[in-house]
Structure 1
Amino acid sequence: MTMTFRGASVLALAVAGALAAPLAQAQTHSAADTPAAQSQSVAGVVLDDQGRGLPGARVTIVETGAQAVTDRQGYFTFATAPVAGDVTLQVDYIGRETFTQRIAPEERGNAVLVAPGEATIIVTGAIASGTVRALNQQRNADNATNVLSADDVGRFPDPNIAEALQRVVGISIERDQGEGRYINVRGAPAEFSAVAVDGVAVSALDPTTRAVDLDTLPSDIINSLEVTKTLLPSQNADSISGAINVVTRSAFDSRRSRFNASFGGSINQYGGSDVRGSAFASTRFGADRNLGVVVSGSYSRTDRQVDNVESVWDVLTRPEGGEVFGIIENLFKDYDTRRERWAVTGGIEAKPTPESRIYLRGSFARFKDDEFRNRLGIIWEDGELQPGATDTTATFTKARLEKQFRHRVQQNEILTVTAGGEHRLGTALVDYSGSYSTSDQFYPRRNELLFRSSLRPTLSYDYSNPDNPAFSLFRTGEHLQTDRYAFRENTFRNNITNNEEWSARGNIALPVPMGANELELRAGVAWRDRTVVADEERQRDRAAGSAPALTLPQMLSGQPSQNYDYFLGRKINPDLANAYLDAQRSRSPRRMPDSITADYTADEQILAGYVMARADFGATDVIAGVRVERTAFDGAAPTFNDDTGAIGEAAASARYTNVFPNLTIRHAFTENLLLRAALTRGINRPNFVDLVPRVVEETDGNVIVVESGNPELQPTLSNNADLALEYYVEPLGLISIAGFYKDLSDYRYTLTRAGTYRGQDALFTRPENAPDGSLYGFEVAWNQKFTFLPGFLSHFGVFANYTYTEADINVASPYAGRSVFPLPGQSKHTYNASVYFENDTLSARLSYTDRSDYLDEINADVPAMDLYWEGRGQLDFTASAQVTPNFTAFFEAKNLTNSPGVRYFGSRERVYEYERFGYTLFSGIKLNF
């Protein structure tokens, strides 16, 4: 479909206008035909005995049977209540006994419903408190939604949002140095999941992807995490697998002032320590306490030493004939890292009247990774393969040895600000907001100093045990002859990537008489404008005159460099190396054309409009609607002419309109047995870096990788079918099963091919579209506290889930005889299992999470060289004791299994990367007032 962006604006406004007539007519009908006493609304809040709002409570007007569900702060509204005089409200909430409260006419606009006190609460304890809130929100949601409360998150040793989300059924995580960074929802690539903070879309930090680095956001700033697996027309369509909303705290979560804080520290198995602390305060002002202020802060620091070995495999030709799989390069990496997170959230909210709300909220998070790395390299391919090589053993003459120091600093920042309001005008509900967000990534340092040995020894390896291969080097010790190393090169890189987005939205909802049933019409428009600027500088100097004044032996410290059982020698003194690199950087020549062609700019504007209707047929709720999104993309990348040195620019543009129909059904066989079904459509737009016409050289060790964009890429679309059955177990629990199917078109994948670049062997990667593909599977979950057991056993409970997925993509033409590929990032099996104990003062939880192997990269030429991540299981333990009502001590043990991170080529015996992180033991205290 071809349409100008201005035309799309007119279309969206026309969609809203088309709905305005029936809305206005319905409102006129209501005002003209309904007595004033009958149209008076009923609004209020449902609180527990501590003054905290109860989200997800079902409130029923007994006289009419009309129902409403409380929001995140416990507020509810009935647009009309056709009953004169007193009104009886009934509140149904999982984990508490149902209660009723009589409301006089003067209380209709500001009813305060307080659940009976502790004596009538069915389930007590901190885990129960958080689980109760989450289950009630999930039960009464219109669409398939999973909710994790802050209490739930706090019962696992999960320092960031990614690790917290791995506990949700259907979600697995991708890790960096053992810590969760990206999420995969229902086996889909990380880019298929949109992320928002308080409803504000968060852009990716990394310039190469749309996936959001969730390790930037600490888990202790949240009030809850909401995972929407089936979208509604009112939601942005850019989420094929799941939309994540990080909900921060609100002053209206409680009627009283609140303060809590926590802090603690740890020891790590492989050295280093953690410190972590957070604080939160909120209060409300005014005679009616209708003005609230909230602020929270978080800080964490992790010092860690990580062991890592990388082995680059290839197909080698033996001197005596025939081919074997062999190693062309080994990198032994010894890391010393410090990761720090800062985060602050705040908000001002007001409810000038019981039926109106205005707010200003903001959040800021910063992640800094300061990493020193000593690396020993064996460059086998620079030598000569000797006869007798097998797929696990080989001997090379004239192998090359290298020793490298690297200091890399990465800093991520995410800022979100949103202001808006919600008002009831007659029977219509109007809400609006304007938002601004930035996601910035900086690499102020990517400095490297490389030495190369003049020795060209004969070396051999044995990979009979791929997790602990043997190398003759560590018996003969040629790498320890440091006087034979000479300066080879220095390299410098610094990156700045800025993602900036402005957005605005407005919605109107109006109940319309429909006989004995309820019908709500809703319409809205939304606008988003995102700008991306990626700027990178690269420098390298190999001139002999640029060598440091100190020789390698003079630059070594007294600290040993140990990688597993491999003794790498002594570490390079970071102060001496940094002093040299800082002084040399200004003199190191700019690397052309890489410093030019690595940059790009992009702008993406999305204008959307939707209409939907929600009909309540008693036990069945039906939502039907359509969303239309118009996308305008403009991107550019610099070009460099190797012959003339001229710098130019290549540009690309795209305009397209997509329609997203939606049908969502929620049927209640009983109050606690629900069926959900949905037919939806979603979109994943191409990564900006893939759309712009850029060609850039990357160096991975001694391997040259040439990446190029593809301006002809199309967005990936998915037609989705979902069916779920949920049973909410009394008094506290959930058993559910859900099936899903996603029909993918124009799935975007990246192939790696071998070739030559500037006269050198290289690997080429380029994104392409696959005509079609599919992703399907099912998930089951069981969450229950065993209150039906006698005595001591009644304090135990279980939290478990399992997800099975199958996926494949069909490419346009075969590569090495293959035309069907698995979906990158998709694990066939994902597990979570936890057993917990909790009473009024003590809680403990033993939890295990695991996922099966998944594809990372496709090799177009050699199927046996596809790159996979091995599935990884991890055992954790947490415990806490409430010493006083305001003081709690806690303990966490993370990664007790010391599970490694492993990547391999094609088969598990060809290990590419083997990394261990060790366990962490953390303890601290929490204060709550």
Structure 2
Amino acid sequence: MTIRNLRLSGVSAAVLALGLSAMGADALAQHQLTGRVVDERGNGLPGARVSVPELGLTTSTDRRGEFTFLSLPAGEARLEVSYLGLPPGVRGVNISASDINTVTFTLADSADGVERIIITGQILDSAARALNQQRTNNATTNIVSADSIGRFPDANIAEALQRVPGFAVARDQGEGRFINLRGAPGDFTGISVDGVQIGSPDPTTRAVDLDTIPSDIVAALEVSKTLLPNQDADSIAGSVNLVTRSPFDRPGLNISGQAGLSYNEFGDGNDRRASGTISNTFGNDRFGALLSASYSRTDRQVDNIESSWIIEDVAGQDVFLVDEQEFKDYDTVRERTALTGSLEFRPDDANRFFLTGSYSRFRDDEFRNTLLIIYADGDLQPGATDGNATWNESRIEKELRHRIVQNEITTIQVGGEHLIGGGELDYSLSYARSEQFNPRRAQFLFRSSIRPDLSYDFSNADSPALSLFTSGEHLDLSGYGFRENVFRGQTTEQDEIAARINYAFSGSFLANPTEFRTGAAVRSREVTNDNEQYRDRRGSANPGQPISAFLSTERSQNFSYFLGNKYDPSAVTAYWNANEAQSTDAASRRVPQSTTADYGAEERIYAAYGMATVEAGATRIVAGVRVEHTQFEGSAPFIDDNENISINRVSRDYTNWFPNLTVRHEFSDNLIGRVALTRAISRPRYQDVVPRVEEGDRSSLPVSVSRGNPDLRETMSNNFDAGLEYYFTPLGLAAVNVFYKDLEDYEFTLVRNGTYDGLAAEISQAENAPDGYIRGVELTYQQQFTFLPGLLSNTGVLANYTYTDAEITLASAISGSRTRILPGQSDTTLNLAVFYETERFSARLSWNDRSDYLNEVNGEDSRLDIYWEGRSQLDFSASYDVNERLGVFFEAKNLTNTEGVRYAGDRSRVIEREAFGYTLFGGLRFNF
């Protein structure tokens, strides 16, 4: 062990010594009590508040309804239990001096004045579990149970999170993929499965592609918006823990599942989805096993138009011009497959051993027919204005692309928990793997020899008038000749091994009951990215047949534009299968930038922490510090002018300290306030910090160059959070939370013009902005209107609104300004759901909205910064329980037919317009 790592361990040792010195001999002689709080059906109640008032001790139950007091004196103790939505309970317990003490506490919902619907309703039962956990947690959190997720038409984790206060979703073809929490980029939110950190399958970001993971395999989503010292520090915005099911969630034999089919507005195919879980406990509930599986398939067509905007000097004036357009007609099949498993052994009440695992696979198989109009290959004619131009001798191309991309995320974890030595010890060893690869990525391109004079008019930005679709030169098949085929492949792998250990014990500080906790962790991650790209334009690659031999009879209609007939996938696939080997058998046909896109990285993080939780009457204070030491090594190939390949390397190490102070105060049982001062980190993206230089085709200037920045620094953030929550009786919440994040060295990608190897180039490189901030406010309100008469008493509302303001200050003036708004940050996000709930029937109509946000900074001219237009979406879901075992459900998604739109600086300059339609889904649920 190095001197530096010894210092990290010293943090834990110091806190341990402080705790022992604060404990008197009387405290060391005390005894432990474990228990479980359940409802009348024996289901654990998470977030129940358990207290021993005479001793000033308070704890809460975990997601299984279990709790532990590490230190109680022998003799009689009076326990008080409170749970939102159920009457409180009081019970006396005799604490034995010889053994671990255990107790089971049942809360019934039959007390006077408490209606049964509170605990048995579908929406309200899940709301009760979430609200109780949020109420008792030290940090600012949001909990979403599996039942709550299932009441929305959200097929993956990203879409499930969009309902949580503060979250916004970035979409791909209408499906949620990446998340933005409180206006921060996706890299600022750590994602874990059962506490195991997972990496991104995407080589360009640390943000996890959450469309990889289906929503129906989790038991709950735990969102921590303020961190504690025992949590990994690489979560500036917060962390999301995906909690999978445990056999002890519901002891005994349990079998449940669901299945259904859908209708899609676009495309002939239908969605299908099925999932199931089986679990059991054995040996007097000492051993448990669980297996869960999920499968879904989506067949869909998507319309897409993309336009490239530039600024040119026309008669001494800056004019916005479109130099290229792509009309993309997608036929996609998306599949998600997931498995989770759990084995748990509890030989006695003081010990628990576990083995958990999860596997998620996302496969996106798409055929994309593309019509390309390359205006800039011709000559711009005089008289061009913003959005209106004529180009002589433009070029037309027709392409088919078949791309299969597959993401896989795997986690395995083994560990134990023990009540030992008057304290609680837990440890784990985990392995996580994230992988993205392309089983096929091929392109087949024909180019027309017809060079028409073309004009466009963007007076209607969404549906511009384009002369080509009047003159129809793209429909003249006689002009098309074979241009090239391209074969690509990319494999990105991230493997992480992590070990963690924590120890907690009770004592006192300034005569106040105190829990001391200390621990350490080691994380070692290896990342590799291998890119292969071959282009074949040789005569031997020419199929020797006209384009008509590869076209089908199916029309390609993209919005209002008729593109001609689609390629026949079977005919083109047969060509690819026959030619791929010879097109990729020589290094001379490998595109040089596919070599320099490769990179490797190793990242090791050594961490230690110490913290104390002090109970001072109605106030709970958590104080501590975490320290993390990072060692990083990166490498990437470089090709010189003589085409010799060498390896560029970079290595660095740094240590960061993360002090933490969190205060939770109960003004009353139902009014909770929190204040937190924390510090967090976001390490650079791997491809941005390795010494990588990737150049585009030199035959077209300016040449496109993407390069890494080995001098890139980690982003640090000092955070302030404060919130006030009021919990309604019998079940509801009104909350306000404010936050401020002071950013240092924010990482952003800058695109600007320059020179590379003596050529005019458009250079993309990550840079650090010295200063920046994110600030905002969250408002949350949810309640069932039980005070209304008749059927109206079954109605309720779930609503949240988040406002954020964010800005970064650049190191030097770029396009006349040193300040920019933060990429990925929407000013507002809004969720509003109205529900109706009875014992057997539930329905909700939900509205989700986010405002415009910056997608990419243009370093030369902010007028070409790329934005995503904000979008709103209306969804509906309903379910009916035929009996306790069987239910039916119906979902409707994107009833507003909202499209996805990107634009360059101004909404009149549309870069991309994409439509995917609505989806109707219905099925059955069962539970045995």
TM range (shorter): over 0.9
1:29 matched to 2:25? The reply is: yes
The match for 1:96 is 86
Aligned to 1:587, the other structure's residue is in SS state helix
1:63–1:83 contact (8 Å) kept in structure 2: no
* Alignment-derived partner of residue 50 in structure 2: 59
Residue 104 (structure 1) shift: 4.6
Match of 1:110 in 2: 102
Matching residue of 1:828: 827
1:84: how far off? 1.1
The one-letter amino acid paired with 1:311 is S
For residues 118 and 259 of structure 1, the distance between their equivalents in structure 2, rounded to whole angstroms, comes to: 28
Given the alignment, which residue of 568, 573, 576 partners 2:571? 576
Residue of structure 2 in register with 1:277 after alignment: 274
- Kept after mapping to 2: 8 A contact 1:175/1:182: yes
Amino acid in the other structure paired with 2:280: T
Q: 1:12 aligns with which of 2, 8, 12?
A: 8
What whole-Å deviation, never above 9, does each CA across 1:536-556 have from its counterpart, x for those lacking one?
Answer: 111001123311132201110
Per-residue deviation, 1:443: 1.3
Task: Give the alignment partner of residue 220 of structure 2, picking from 224, 230, 235.
Answer: 224
Aligned partners of 2:72 and 2:95 also within 8 Å: no
Deviates more, 1:249-258 or 1:625-634: 249-258
User: What is residue 69 of structure 2 aligned with on the other side?
Assistant: 78
Aligned mates of 2:107, 2:296 — CA distance in 1 = 37
Amino acid at match of 2:598: D
| Match of residue 556 from structure 1 | 551
- In structure 2, the residue matched to 1:237 is 233
Partner of 2:644 in structure 1?
A: 646
Residue-by-residue CA offset, 1:591-632 (whole Å, 9 max, x unaligned): 242232111110000000111111001100001111000000
**Partner of residue 421, structure 2:** 426
Letter of the 1:261 counterpart? G
Q: 1 CA distance for matches of 2:811 and 2:855?
A: 20
Equivalent position SS for 1:487: strand
Q: Distance in 2 between matches of 1:298 and 1:700?
A: 47
1:239-298 deviations in Å (ceiling 9; x for gaps):
0001010000111112232111100010111112100000011111112x1211111000
- Tell me the equivalent position of 1:684: 682
Indicate the RMSD between aligned Cα atoms, in angstroms. Answer: 1.8
Work out the CA distance in 1 between the residues paired with 2:437 and 2:491: 5
Describe the superposition over 1:300-328 as per-residue Cα deviations: whole angstroms up to 9, x where unpaired: 0001100000010111333x553311110
The DSSP-based 3-state class of the residue aligned with 2:6 is helix
Q: Are residues 62 and 823 of structure 1, via their aligned partners in 2, closer, same or farther at CA, if it must alter by over 3 Å?
A: closer
**Aligned residue among 503, 510, 518 for 2:498:** 503
Deviation larger for 544-553 or 466-475: 544-553
Structure 2 partner of 1:141: 137
CA contact (8 A) 1:310 1:914 kept: yes
State the SS of the aligned residue for 1:610: strand
Contact 2:252–2:282 (CA<8 Å) still a contact in 1?
no
Match of 1:187 among 183, 188, 193: 183
Secondary structure at 2:446 match in 1 = strand
Report the Cα offset of residue 24 of structure 1.
Answer: 4.5
Match of 1:662 in 2: 660
User: Hey, what does 1:197 align to over in structure 2?
Assistant: 193
Deviates most, 788-797 or 664-673 = 788-797
CA separation in 1, counterparts of 2:389 and 2:593? 36
**1:68 counterpart residue number:** 59
Q: For residues 527 and 458 of structure 1, do their structure 2 counterparts lie closer, same or farther at Cα, with a shift above 3 Å needed?
A: same
Matched, 1:41 2:32: yes
Q: Shift of residue 516 of structure 1? A: 5.0
Q: Secondary structure at the match of 2:403?
A: strand
Q: Equivalences for 1:872-883 in 2 at 5 Å? A: 872-883=871-882
Q: Which runs of 5+ in 1 are unaligned?
A: none
Which residues of 2 match residues 723-742 of structure 1 at below 5 A? 723-742=722-741
Q: Is the CA contact (8 Å cut-off) linking 1:59 and 1:70 kept in structure 2? A: yes
| TM-score, scaled to structure 2 | 0.96
Distance 1:18 1:385 in 2: 72
Amino acid across the alignment from 1:219: S
Q: What is the 5 A alignment of 1:522-921?
A: 522-588=517-583, 589=586, 590-643=589-642, 645-697=643-695, 705-755=704-754, 762-921=761-920
Whether contact under 8 Å (1:418, 1:434) holds in the other structure is yes
Q: Which moved more, 1:580-589 or 1:273-282?
A: 580-589
Q: Work out whether residues 201 and 494 of structure 2, in 8 Å CA contact, stay in contact via their aligned partners in 1.
A: yes
SS at match of 2:50: strand
On the 8 A contact 1:51/1:256 being kept in 2, the answer is: no
Moved more, 212-221 or 759-768: 759-768
Report the CA distance between 1:122 and its aligned residue: 6.0
Q: Which residue identity does 1:209 align to in structure 2? A: T
Contact 2:56 2:513 in 1 (8 A): no
1:291 is aligned to 287
What is the count of residue pairs matched by the alignment?
A: 916
Letter in 2 for 1:682: A
Q: Which moved more, 1:679-688 or 1:352-361?
A: 352-361
Secondary structure of residue in 2 paired with 1:252: coil
The one-letter code matched in structure 1 to 2:281 is R
| Counterpart Cα distance in 2 of 1:624 and 1:486 | 71
Q: Does 1:255 align with 2:245?
A: no
Output the CA distance in 2 between the equivalents of 1:755 and 1:486. 35
CA contact (8 A) 1:44 1:354 kept: no
User: Would the aligned equivalents of 2:33 and 2:95 in 1 still touch at CA under 8 Å?
Assistant: no
Q: For the Cα contact (< 8 Å) 1:772–1:810, is it kept in 2? A: yes
Worse-matched range after superposition: 252-261 or 737-746: 252-261
Post-superposition shift, 1:515? 6.1
Which SS does the other structure have where 1:41 is aligned? strand
Q: Decide which moves more: 253-262 or 671-680.
A: 253-262
SS of the residue 1:585 aligns to = helix
TM-aligned CA deviation for residue 749 of structure 1 = 1.0
Equivalent of 1:307 in 303, 310, 314: 303
Q: For 1:218, give the aligned amino acid.
A: P
Q: 1:273 to 1:491 in 2, by over 3 A?
A: same
Q: CA deviation at 1:61?
A: 2.7
Greater CA drift, 418-427 or 137-146: 418-427
Letter in 2 for 1:480: L
Tell me how far apart the structure 2 counterparts of residues 7 and 710 of structure 1 sit (CA, whole Å): 30
Per mean C-alpha deviation after superposition, the further-off stretch among 46-55 and 6-15 is 6-15
Listed as ranges, the gaps of 5+ residues in structure 2 are: none
Partner of residue 168, structure 1:
164
- In structure 1, the residue matched to 2:149 is 153
Separation in 2, partners of 1:704, 1:40: 72
Residues 372 and 396, structure 2, Cα contact 8 Å, conserved in 1: yes
Tell me how far apart the structure 1 counterparts of residues 893 and 629 of structure 2 sit (CA, whole Å): 46
Map Cα deviations across residues 555-601 of structure 1 (whole Å, 9 max, x no partner): 10111111011010001111111111222222224324223211111
Alpha-carbon distance, 1:223 to partner: 0.5
Aligned partners of 1:815 and 1:860 also within 8 Å:
yes
Shift of 1:118: 5.8
**Residues 15 and 611 in structure 2, CA contact (< 8 A), matched pair in contact too:** no
Deviation at 1:103, TM superposition (A): 3.3
TM-score (norm 1): 0.96
Note the C-alpha offset of 1:138: 0.5
Worse overlay, 16-25 or 628-637: 16-25
Change (3 A) 1:560 1:631: same
CA distance in 2, matches of 1:326, 1:526: 54
Report % sequence identity: 51
In the TM superposition, residue 819 of structure 1 has moved relative to its aligned partner by 0.6
Once the two structures are overlaid, the 10-residue window that deviates more, 548-557 or 229-238, is 548-557
